[in-house]
A and B are shown apart, each in its own frame.
Chain A
Amino acid sequence: MSDPSALSINAGSPEPIYRQLMEQLRRRVASGALVAGQEVPSVRELALALAINPMTVSKAYSLLEAEGLLERRRGLAMVVAAKHQQARSQTERMALLRPALQQAAEAARQLEVEPRDALALFKTILHEEP
């Protein structure tokens, strides 16, 4: 991807923008859509594309570098770290999906929606066009 349009943000949520960016990059690496050595958009490109503060992008990239997802290559370009050669295992990807589903499960319980109905809804949503 050096295409910044692959990333998006949602202002107005309780999740800070830098964490939204981190989560999306983690998912793209986990799925194998981004693999070792591939460049991510520069701070400048991404800040301009999303109309966000460049410090926010830097913060997300620095934290992803610290957790070993990205590496800084000569000069400024950030690339996916060497150890991410291929998509992660099904188990690991499921682990990344879990927090989002936990939140959905909590919402379903609060709304007293039956598990059967909640699952049916999730199935429908999975098949919708994004």
Chain B
Amino acid sequence: MNTLSLPQSQSAGLSLANSGAPATSVEVRGLTLSYAGRPVLDQLDWQLLPGQVVGLLGRNGVGKTTLLESLLGLRDATGGEVRLFGSPIALMDDAMRARIGFVPQQSQLFDWLTPRQLLAYFRSFYPKWNAAKAEALMARWEIPQDQQIAKLSGGQQQRLSIVRALAPEPDLLVLDEPVSSLDPVGRRDFLRELVEQVLDRGTTVVFSTHILSDLERVAFNVAFMAGGRITVQAPLSDLMDGCRRITGPASRVDAHVRASQLTVLSRRALDGGEVAVLAAGEHEARPDGLGSDALSLEDLFAELTL
């Protein structure tokens, strides 16, 4: 993992709970997994700290879902280790399971039940199940309680899946494209709910989505995935403040990068012997004769997920 030290790396005011005790919510070391001989996760290292909201970014098919499901012990890795709250997931028990909320890409609900039956069923497994919260969300999100789940719309099923994940008041929320079926108003409301969880409970959240504007709002940290690894993880504002895209003739761009002691995060060839380099560090406002552009999250995504 490329651990960046970028300029202006201010630590924000919120302090994390417990100063000494278990340092990580999620600790992944050397995780390796292949499908039909094709490596998907390749010696992947990753860490999530308590209270962090981390956006996971990567192109389609890069293995985000595989990674997220591996965190929960739903995939068998061929090598490496995942620890949640300090314990290996191989030892996952009910107590650990109760601390995790998961919203999968495709909701895996028991679709012959009604929402009321489903929530009553799950309630029995979770000691901290917050029935009042579940009721309030069901009402606010207008999910019919007594209709068979199979007959609900895609958006309603996704909302129900979110309610099911939030009601146990988890310490870790794993969200895999949780809002793909929601309209903009529904998404905003979900983001607010997420912000409230983080404010009230210091929940650790990992969130994968292609809706970058949502991610930019709620993810203070972003992790980019490419080639089976997490290639860059940093506070998004540090990346936006500290990175610029430098374009121009290859030799001149390279000389500039050396002279300014910039860290190159990605590099691609353009037409006519020119290159585009994503570089972090202390940038001059206008390097002579070279292009130098600030980057939006979408630009960062394009450069860092190749």
Chain A residues engaging chain B, CB cutoff 8 angstroms: 9, 11-19, 43-44, 47-48, 50-56, 58-59, 61-63
Contacts and interface: CB of A to CB of B under 8 A. Distances in A.
B262 interface: no
Given A51-B192, A56-B220, A13 B199 contact: no
A61 to B, nearest CB: 7
Listed residue (B192, B216, B218) with the most chain A CB atoms within 10 angstroms of its CB: B216
Interface residues on B, range: 20 to 34
B14 A55 contact: yes
Contacts of B218: 51-53
B188 A51 contact: yes
B255 to A, nearest CB: 25
Given A16-B240, A47-B199, A54 B296 contact: no
Contacts of A13: 296
Contacts of A50: 217
B232 interface: no
B195 interface: yes
Contacts, number: 81
Nearest to A13: B296
Contact of B12 (A44, A48, A51, A58): A58
16 contacts: A11-B212, A11-B217, A16-B241, A17-B216, A19-B237, A19-B241, A48-B192, A48-B195, A51-B191, A51-B192, A52-B217, A52-B218, A54-B199, A55-B220, A56-B12, A58-B13
B238 to A, nearest CB: 9
Interface in B68-83: none
Contacts of A44: 199
Listed residue (A16, A19, A43, A53) with the most chain B CB atoms within 10 angstroms of its CB: A53
A54 B194 CA distance: 11
Interface string B207-228: 0000011101111100000000
